[in-house]
Amino acid sequence: MSECPILVWMLSLNREYTVAEYDQCFKLVEECIGYTKFPYQPRNEDSFRAQNHHSNAALLMMRHRTDTEGRKGKHWIEQLFEEPPLEKFNHSMIGYHLAISNSLCGMAMTQGERQKVVNIGLGIIQYADSYMRAVGQPIGFDHARIDFDVVNGKAQMDGKPLIGWEFRVFTANLGVARGTRIVHEQYECVCAFFRGPTAETKFIWHQTPRELESWVQFINIDQMVKVIPKLTA
């Protein structure tokens, strides 16, 4: 297993939700996520999307963990031990990043030392999004400063090559219930992670389910609401 292994959860908002399901997600986020608060709006679809956008991170924090925010808005999760061995504690940090687009909510995460795990980002549709989120660039950053030559596996920032970055690329195909119709939606997703200043920047494509299943897990609303009671009991 490589240092700082990557795991991605992709949550499909694949159907309409009930008020009871909204309440489950709202309570989970309210109890576990301290850095943001949401008004209670059970009939608002955007509010439900926002709750689920943060539900993935909330699930990670259910078992004696706390969220910490550093400079540039980067988040990592610390495990709470009664008397933690220093070495174990230092390598137990979980860096993560959340992304959302229409019917798809995602979270990329990795575990290891804090200064390494915070350099992770997840983008849906764009390479630049995943990179900017991994380095902590603010909203409004000029995308024109970044150039991706995907065919030749190269990336540049302000004309200088990006060194040490790993870009994992995969496609998410969803079937979403819109009233009585099933609408098929496709998303291009990119997970960016900094492997270190001596690593070679590379693009990794994962196209088949077998290639993806070792590090990407797809879940839907039904699966999400089933697991919440088990973790909150």
Instruction: Please give the average pLDDT of every successive group of 10 residues along the chain, which has 233 residues.
Output: 82 94 91 78 94 82 67 74 68 87 92 90 75 69 77 83 90 89 90 90 82 91 88 63
What are the two backbone dihedrals, phi and then psi, of residue 4, each rounded to the nearest 5 degrees?
A: 55, 65
Q: How far apart are CA 66 and CA 155, in angstroms?
A: 34
Per-residue model confidence (pLDDT) at position 106: 93
134 near 120, Cβ under 8 Å?
Answer: yes
Establish if 12 belongs to a structural domain: yes
Domain membership flag for residue 205: yes
Asked whether the beta carbons of 170 and 189 are under 8 A apart, the reply is yes
Name the β-bridge partners of 68: 76
Q: Rg for the chain (alpha carbons), in Å?
A: 18
Query: What angle (nearest 5°) sits at the alpha carbon of residue 119, between those of residues 201 and 189?
Result: 70
Residue 1 lies in a domain: no
Could you tell me the CA-to-CA distances from 53 to 68, 91, 104, 147, 160 in Å, in that order? Answer: 18, 26, 9, 28, 34
Q: Which domain holds residue 169?
A: 6-232
Amino acid residing at 179: G
On whether the CB atoms of residues 10 and 106 are closer than 8 A, the answer is yes
Residue pair 25/55 in contact (Cβ under 8 Å)? The answer is yes
β-sheet bridge partners, residue 188: 171
pTM above 0.75, yes or no: yes
Helices (H), 114-220: 114-117, 127-135, 209-212
| 87 is a domain residue | yes
How many structural domains comprise the chain?
1
Q: How many CA atoms lie within 13 A of 33 on its CB side?
A: 22
Q: Which two tokens stand for residue 144?
A: 């024109």
